Amino acid sequence: MVKVYIDGQEGTTGLKILDRFNGRTDIELIRIDSDKRKDAAERKRLINESDFTFLCLPDAAAIEAVSLAENPNVRIIDASTAHRTNPAWHYGLPELSPKQREGIATSKRVAVPGCFPSGFVSLMAPLINDGILQPHYPVFTYALTGYSGGGNQRIAQYEDERRARELESPMIYGLAQNHKHIPEMLAFSGLAYRPMFTPVIADFYSGMTVVVPIQARLLHKKASIKEFWEVLRAHYQNSPFISVKNFIPNEEQTNVLLPSNYLRGTNKMDIYVFGSNEQILLCACLDNLGKGASGAAVQCLNIMMGIDETTGLL
């Protein structure tokens, strides 16, 4: 049995990790008293007492928490943005490659991917690695997400009975092209240049669709929509959580409706390839609190423990 401490257990991601530990007998949870959750000395004691510590904190607090870890045997899984592009940390997306999975398994420092990058990198990396999409391709991407990704304050804002009417409408943000996830999206996708990214927050609790349109005329070499689908299908054929859905011919796509919240509560991601040989539309659907946060964190823990990575996950 391993000892696990969650630093930030009262936040959205921390609570969802706790939910995924229900019924597990291979974990001993170390809990901090509510009145001491900001006490650095108590946090330090619990971090160093644990075998694994999850960081479900703002970036500055996550960096501070790492500095508190003096026990060389403590393995840290950080769900914040703080360490995702730090070369000393392993990026927690095991589906990228067997080497990525092996690195996570042996690492003492793992950074859990962000919700948007989880979908984006899962779409882009296999295509660029295969060569069907060139690193210099000018990528534009947008994503629709539920409001829970904004944390407790955003959830309270959306669920307030006196909320502003504007919250009833989807809202575009990150308009300055400076979203904090862009460096991560660039670092692990294989792209040579920053993608243009437009996130949209909408009035539903959790779920996400990340979309990347591809103009075939801009490709370095000619490739059909079916070839794009085949590359993604082959890459994820043995993945327990990422599925590339059946190819739908262009003439049958007209009446397809793709919701963003149907995978809520799971650690799954579904990938779709729509469009035609001229215009290809890549879509990744996931739960921003699942494969985009807490589910991915628990998946990394399972791999680091050397057990079935699906343990405790749907």
| 216-250 confidence digits (pLDDT tens) | 999 999 999 999 999 999 999 999 999 999 999 98
**Res 179 pLDDT > 90:** yes
* Average pLDDT for the chain: 96
In the set 115, 283, 285, 300, the catalytic residue is 115
Whether 120 contacts 286, CB under 8 Å: no
Q: Which amino acid does the sequence have at 280?
A: I
Domain ranges of the chain: 2-113+292-305, 115-288
pLDDT digits (tens, 9 = 90+) for 273-305: 999 999 999 999 999 999 999 999 999 999 999
3-state secondary structure of 176: coil
Averaged pLDDT, 262-280: 97
**Res 37 pLDDT > 90:** no
pLDDT band of residue 129 (cuts 50, 70, 90) is very high
Contacts of 133 (CB under 8 A, 6+ apart): 124, 127, 214, 219, 228
User: What confidence score (pLDDT) does residue 136 get?
Assistant: 97
Report the alpha-carbon distance of residue 136 to residue 190 in Å, rounded. 9
**Res 78 pLDDT > 90:** yes
> Is 115 an annotated catalytic residue?
yes
3-state secondary structure of 220: coil
Fold entry, domain 115-288? Dihydrodipicolinate Reductase; domain 2 (3.30.360)
**Res 35 pLDDT > 90:** no
**Res 34 pLDDT > 90:** no
**Res 10 pLDDT > 90:** no
Q: The pTM is what? A: 0.95
User: What confidence score (pLDDT) does residue 299 get?
Assistant: 98
User: What confidence score (pLDDT) does residue 168 get?
Assistant: 93
Domain at 2-113+292-305, CATH class: alpha beta
- Which secondary structure element, helix H or strand E, spans residue 75, and what is its range? strand 75-78
Look at 34 and 174; give whichever has higher pLDDT: 174
Show the tokens assigned to 160.
């307030």
* Order of all β-strands in the sheet with 52-55: 27-30, 2-7, 52-55, 75-78, 109-111, 90-91
User: What confidence score (pLDDT) does residue 151 get?
Assistant: 87
